[in-house]
Amino acid sequence: MDSFYINGGNKLFGELEIGTSKNAVLPILAGCILCDKKVILHKFPKYQDTLNMLKILQSIGASCELIDDVAIIDCQSINKCRIETELASKLRSSIFTLGAMLSRFKKAQIAYPGGCAIGARPIDLHIKGLQGLGVKIVDKHGFLYCDGSNMKSGVINLDFPSVGATENLIMTSVFLKGKTKIINCAREPEIVDLVNFLNCLGAKISGAGTSVIEIDGVKNLNGGEYTPISDRIIAGTYIIATCMCGGKITLKNVCVDNISSLLSKLKNNCCKMSIKGAKISLSVDRLPKAISKIETQVFPGFPTDLQPQIVSMLSVARGTSVVVENLFESRFKYVSELKKLGADIIVNGNTAVIKGIPNLYGAQVQSFDLRGGAAMVLAGIVAKGYTIVRDVNHIDRGYFCIEDDLKKLGVDIERIKEV
């Protein structure tokens, strides 16, 4: 179990290139199951979650090779369609393999997925959608046993625009004869990236980025090469960190349109921004101001995955802010740790009221989940004195060596391996 030791108070200066999106790569890796030829993914991010997904592919017989930042995936040798509990419990995105295995092999068995403890996150939308395409599903002994021998194309109307369910249903439908339509689907950039990847290999999918996606079935997918999009949450995290600490940074390889909801909240707040193509420069010379209200929403609304980080920023802002979490009922779990640093936050149900204070002060805190852990790091780098963030392995699931990036910006941070 690793910890971060942070000596806070430094302003941030420097330049970083934003790496590839974890949430884009995970469904793309599952999509490789649909191909019986090699797929080459460039700028492959070595987050703990993406490495676990490679292990899942290997467990069912795929060949996975990493050469520097290039992943070579060959799913021709897949010889089983069962994901065991030990692997599925480490990664919620293991559920994406369900649709891909059903599409190619007409059967699948998968243990219930794991992931961060930020709420129930039920998979009922996945199950209901698959059943709408003719999949027979039996739930017993902690496994989903799926028979897709009688699958057929159709129209699926999602009760909620779930990202995971949308991605799963897309992959399930790639080889179905005729046209499948998904209504009220999610519009996240990672879905657009998955569709671009599949179309690059020969799929016929249209409407990604809108609320209706149509899939015209094809007989097979070819191999190919692809470079997934950059990570909007990592970019947002470093932008928020700079607003908290002050300084001047430049981020390269940023999909600016994908973080517009964050940038609109920060505009005319505490920073000067310059955007040129995929590069954003940020200059901050004063404390952030409170934001009257932020509500997390599905894309293009404010992302729930930036909610803990923005609350961390608002804890040192001038004035009182309100943040409403509409997606995950346990997302505010980290607040108890933020209070140990002196933050003045009251949580009532899905609403947090944050009264900004001039300074946070170093303390020992715990990382309970990926994004809450990132919020602890941000609080630690602005706090006076030393902060210890424990159990940072959660953070490794979605940030590759976050301490190295922060060091490049001037943060005094060290990773300590605890025995």
Active-site position among 35, 81, 116, 146: 116
Handedness of CA 348, 352, 355, 358 (dihedral sign): positive
Q: Residue 156: phi, psi to the nearest 5?
A: -115, 125
- Asked if residue 27 and residue 6 are part of one domain, the reply reads no
Distance from C-alpha of 419 to C-alpha of 417, rounded to nearest angstrom: 7
pLDDT classification of 419: cutoffs 50, 70, 90: low
- Asked if residue 365 and residue 260 are part of one domain, the reply reads yes
- Asked if residue 338 and residue 203 are part of one domain, the reply reads no
pLDDT, tens only, 237-267: 999 999 999 999 999 999 999 999 999 999 8
Supply the angle between the helices 22-31 and 189-200 in degrees, to the nearest 10.
30
Domain boundary among 226, 261, 277: 226
185 an active-site residue? no
- Asked if residue 237 and residue 212 are part of one domain, the reply reads no
Q: What's the confidence (pLDDT) of residue 354?
A: 98
Provide the number of structural domains found in the chain: 2
Query: SS in 3 state form for 182-241?
Result: EECCCCCHHHHHHHHHHHHCCCEEECCCCCEEEEECCCCECCEEECCCECHHHHHHHHHH
Distance from C-alpha of 147 to C-alpha of 163, rounded to nearest angstrom: 23
- Asked if residue 79 and residue 44 are part of one domain, the reply reads yes
Degrees to nearest 5, angle at CA 75 with 172 and 209:
40
- Asked if residue 383 and residue 242 are part of one domain, the reply reads yes
User: What residues make up the domain containing 145?
Assistant: 22-226
pLDDT, tens only, 55-94: 999 999 999 999 999 999 999 999 999 988 888 877 767 8
pLDDT at 114 over 90: no
- Asked if residue 270 and residue 197 are part of one domain, the reply reads no
- Asked if residue 169 and residue 26 are part of one domain, the reply reads yes
Domain boundary among 226, 251, 267: 226
Domain boundary among 174, 209, 226: 226
Mean pLDDT, the chain, rounded, equals 94
Structure tokens, 182: 């998904």
Q: How large is the average pLDDT for residues 109-113?
A: 84
Q: How large is the average pLDDT for residues 366-383?
A: 96
CATH number at residue 95: 3.65.10.10
What is the pTM assigned to this prediction? 0.94
- Asked if residue 286 and residue 190 are part of one domain, the reply reads no
- Asked if residue 239 and residue 214 are part of one domain, the reply reads no
Q: Give which of 353, 321, 342, 336 is closest to 387, Cα–Cα.
A: 342
First-residue to last-residue Cα distance in the chain: 7
- Asked if residue 316 and residue 169 are part of one domain, the reply reads no
Q: H or E stretch including 372?
A: helix 370-382
- Asked if residue 74 and residue 136 are part of one domain, the reply reads yes
pLDDT, tens only, 157-207: 999 999 999 999 999 999 999 999 999 999 999 999 999 999 999 999 999
